[in-house]
C-alpha cells in the first residue's frame, strides 16, 4: 500500500476591516509611529470591534472562504480543529461554534492551544489524523483576537498585537508533496516571561485579578526576543539539515510575525533573506494567525512542489519548525 501523507489543499483567511494605526496607539500610550516601525516593524494592525464578536467570527469567515475556494461541501468535513489562545468562551470550544456556523455538521470538533506556535501544533495534529488513514478532510482554523487580551495602558505590549484568522484544508495524498517533517519543542521555564495569568483555574476571575490587569498579555520583551531568535533559527536549521536540504533548495521561509527584527535575524542565520514571507507591517502579531495569514496572502506566488519552512515561537515557551512541499499551483479564487 502506498504511504499516505497529508497535504494542504486550500487556504482561506480573514482580517477585520477596522484598522488601528500607530498614530491611534500613540494617542493611548507614550509611544510613537517611529518607535513602533523601527523597533517592531508594524505600521498598522486590524481590530475586531463589536460586542459579542470573538475569534469564531473571524474563523467562520476564513472557513467560508476556504470552502468556497476549494468547492468542498461542508458536510464532507470530518474534523474542525481550532488553534487559538483567545477562544470565544471558557467553554464550549470555538471549533464547535465555527463548525455550526459553516455547515460542517458531520465534523468532530476540538480546540488546541499552542500560543504563537499554535498553527504548527495544529498542523502536526491534523496531519497525523490524515496519515492514520481514518480521516480525509480536515479543516484547521488558526488565529486569535489578540486585542481582547491586550492592555491599552501598557506601551510595552499594546503596539504589538492584532486580530486575524487563517484556515487550511488538509487532505490525503500519495504524491511527493505535503507535510514532510515537523519538529516541535517546549521549554516550560518560559512560563513567567510570557503569560496571561488571570481567568484560568490558577487565578479565576475576580475583582482582584481585574484590578491587577491579570487578564492581559504580560511579556518580558527582551527575554522573549532573545529566545525567539535563537530557538527559531536553531530549529529551522535542524529541520533543514535533518532533511538534507540546502538553502538554495528553499523556496520560502514563513516565520511567525512578532517583530521584524526577529524575522530578519532568523532569515539571516538561515542565509535566505530574500525568500521570507512578511506581512507584520499590516497585521502585527495575530499569534496563531500569523503563519496561515502569510500563506493566504502569498498563495498566488506558490507553486506545486515548493519547499517551504514554517517556524514559530511563543508562550510556554513552545516553538518549532515544519518542512512542507506545497501541494498546488496557488491562485486566489
Stretch that binds ligand UT7, among 34-42, 131-139, 164-172, 198-206 (CB under 6 A): 34-42
Alpha-carbon distance of 155 to 151, in angstroms, equals 8
By beta-carbon proximity to ligand UT7, the closer residue of 77 and 160 is 160
**Torsions phi, psi of 223, nearest 5?**
-65, -45
- For residue 96, the Cα-to-chain-centroid distance in whole angstroms is 19
Burial (0-12, 13-18, 19+ Cβ within 10 Å), 10: buried
Q: Kindly tell me the sign of the dihedral angle through the C-alpha atoms of 16, 21, 26, 31.
A: positive
116 assigned to active site = yes
By beta-carbon proximity to ligand UT7, the closer residue of 65 and 290 is 290
Catalytic-role residue among 82, 104, 116, 165:
116
82 assigned to active site = no
By beta-carbon proximity to ligand UT7, the closer residue of 169 and 258 is 258
Q: Bridge partners of 75? A: none
CB of 233 to ligand UT7, least distance (A): 13
> Among residues 88, 221, 85, 89, which one has the least CA distance to residue 158?
221
Enumerate residues 101-120 that contact ligand UT7 by CB under 6 A.
116
> Among residues 315, 324, 257, 322, which one has the least CA distance to residue 290?
257
CB of 331 to ligand UT7, least distance (A): 30
By beta-carbon proximity to ligand UT7, the closer residue of 38 and 174 is 38
Q: Residue 320, SS3?
A: strand
Query: Does residue 305 touch ligand UT7 according to CB under 6 A?
Result: no
CB of 93 to ligand UT7, least distance (A): 23
Enumerate residues 154-173 that contact ligand UT7 by CB under 6 A.
155-156, 159
Interacting residues toward ligand UT7 by CB under 6 A: 31, 35, 39-40, 116, 155-156, 159, 221-222, 224-225, 228, 258-259, 262, 285, 313-314
Amino acid at each position: 500500500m502506498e504511504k499516505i501523507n497529508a497535504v494542504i489543499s486550500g487556504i482561506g483567511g480573514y482580517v477585520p476591516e477596522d484598522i488601528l494605526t500607530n498614530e491611534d496607539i500613540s494617542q493611548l500610550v507614550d509611544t510613537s509611529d517611529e518607535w513602533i516601525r523601527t523597533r517592531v516593524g508594524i505600521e498598522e494592525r486590524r481590530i475586531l470591534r463589536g460586542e459579542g464578536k470573538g475569534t469564531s467570527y473571524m474563523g467562520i469567515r476564513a472557513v467560508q472562504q476556504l470552502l468556497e475556494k476549494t468547492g468542498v461541501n461542508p458536510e464532507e468535513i470530518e474534523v474542525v480543529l481550532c488553534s487559538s489562545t483567545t477562544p470565544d468562551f471558557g467553554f464550549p470550544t470555538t471549533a464547535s461554534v465555527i463548525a455550526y456556523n459553516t455547515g460542517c455538521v458531520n465534523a468532530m470538533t476540538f480546540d488546541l492551544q499552542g500560543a504563537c506556535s499554535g498553527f504548527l501544533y495544529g498542523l502536526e495534529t491534523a496531519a497525523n489524523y490524515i496519515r492514520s488513514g481514518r480521516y480525509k478532510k480536515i479543516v484547521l482554523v488558526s488565529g486569535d483576537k489578540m486585542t481582547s487580551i491586550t492592555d491599552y495602558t501598557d506601551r510595552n505590549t499594546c503596539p504589538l498585537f492584532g486580530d486575524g484568522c487563517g484556515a487550511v484544508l488538509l487532505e490525503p495524498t500519495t504524491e511527493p508533496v505535503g507535510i514532510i517533517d515537523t519538529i516541535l519543542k517546549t521549554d516550560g521555564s518560559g512560563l513567567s516571561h510570557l503569560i496571561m495569568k488571570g481567568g484560568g483555574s490558577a487565578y479565576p476571575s475576580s475583582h482582584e485579578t481585574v484590578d491587577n490587569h491579570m487578564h492581559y498579555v504580560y511579556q518580558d520583551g527582551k527575554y522573549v526576543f532573545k529566545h525567539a531568535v535563537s530557538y527559531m533559527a536553531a530549529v529551522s536549521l535542524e529541520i533543514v539539515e535533518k532533511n538534507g536540504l540546502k538553502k538554495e533548495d528553499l523556496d520560502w521561509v514563513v516565520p511567525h510575525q512578532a517583530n521584524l527584527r526577529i524575522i530578519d535575524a532568523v532569515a539571516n542565520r538561515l542565509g535566505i533573506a530574500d525568500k521570507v514571507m512578511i506581512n507584520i507591517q499590516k497585521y502585527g502579531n495575530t499569534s496563531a494567525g500569523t503563519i496561515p495569514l502569510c500563506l493566504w496572502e502569498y498563495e498566488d506566488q506558490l507553486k506545486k512542489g515548493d519547499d517551504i519552512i514554517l517556524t514559530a515561537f511563543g508562550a510556554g515557551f513552545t516553538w518549532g519548525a515544519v518542512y512542507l512541499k506545497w501541494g498546488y499551483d496557488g491562485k486566489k479564487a
